[in-house]
Amino acid sequence: MREGRILAGGVPVRLLEAGSGPPLVLLHGADVGSADLTWRPSIPILAERFHVIAPDLPGHGHTPPLPGPPATEAYVRWFGAFVEALRLDRFSLVGLSLGGAISLGFALQNPDRVGRLVLVASYGLMRRVPLHALAYRLVRIPPLTSFLARLRSSAHPLLLRLALRWIVGDPRVLTPDLLQEVAGAVRARGHRSFFYAWLATELGRQTVHTCYLDRLPELRIPTLLLHGDRDRLVPVGWALKAAHRIPRSRLVVLRGCGHWVPRERPEEFHRELLTFLVEPDGAGEQKFSLRT
C-alpha cells in the first residue's frame, strides 16, 4: 500500500493506492470518514485484482477542505478534477454514504467513464433525512454545532460508543480495537468538523438538496446497491426505491447491518463487491437479495 498526494481542484489530496489491475476508486463517507478508517482493511483484498485508489475527501482525513461551502455538487466537481489529475479514462467506482452520492452524481454526468458502480448505504437516494425538520433547525444554530463538534472531538469513550451505536446495526462490532481506531481518527481531526457545514448546505426546509431518485432511470451502468436493513441514516426503503429505478441494478440487503457496511460486515462486503466487479455480465437485470 502506497500513500501519496495529488493536486486536484486546487486541493492537495492525500490518497492510498495499491495493486496494478483495472482501476477501482473508493470514496468514503462524511464526518470522521477517511481512506484509512473506512478502506484500509479492504484495500489489500481488493488490490489482488485491481489498482485501488482511495482518497481522503476534502475536509476529511489529511486532505484540506474545498474552498467555499462544502455542498455535494462541489464534491462532484472536485471528483471530476481528481480523476482528471490521475488521468483515469474509465474505472469502477465504489462510494459509501456521501461517497455514494459523489459517485452517483459523477456517473450520471459521465456514464462512459464508469465501468461499474457500487453504492454502499448511499446518500443521494432519499428526499428527506430522518428527523428532517429537527435536523434542519439544529444545523442552523452555530453555537450548538460548534459545541457539538468540540464535544465529539474529545473522543470520550462513552460518547464515542453512543455515536457509533447510532451508525452500526449490531453493537457487538464495536470492539475495543475499532473504538480505539475511531478515537484516533477523531482526535487527529480535532474539532474542525465539516459535517455540520455540509448538513447546512444539504438540508432544505422540506427536502434535501441532493436527491438523484428521479434521474436514476437514466443510469445504464451495471450498479450494485449494498445496504443494511438497520441503517438509521439512510433507511433501506430508499435503496429499494432506487434499485427499482436503475435498469441494470442489483440490491443486496444485509440483515442486522447498519450504515457502516465495510467495517460492520467486511466478509460479506468483500464477497458481494468482488463477485459483482468480476462477473462477466454485471447486473444484467434487476435482482434483489437478502443476506443474513
Which residues are tagged catalytic? 259
**Nearest Cα to 101, choosing from 138, 83, 74, 76?**
76
Is the Cβ–Cβ distance between 1 and 26 less than 8 Å?
A: no
Interatomic CA distance for residues 128 and 143, integer angstroms? 24
Measure CA of the first residue to CA of the last residue in the chain; give whole Å: 32
Interatomic CA distance for residues 62 and 43, integer angstroms? 18
Interatomic CA distance for residues 26 and 96, integer angstroms? 8
Interatomic CA distance for residues 34 and 292, integer angstroms? 28
Interatomic CA distance for residues 113 and 110, integer angstroms? 6
Cell of 47: 488490490
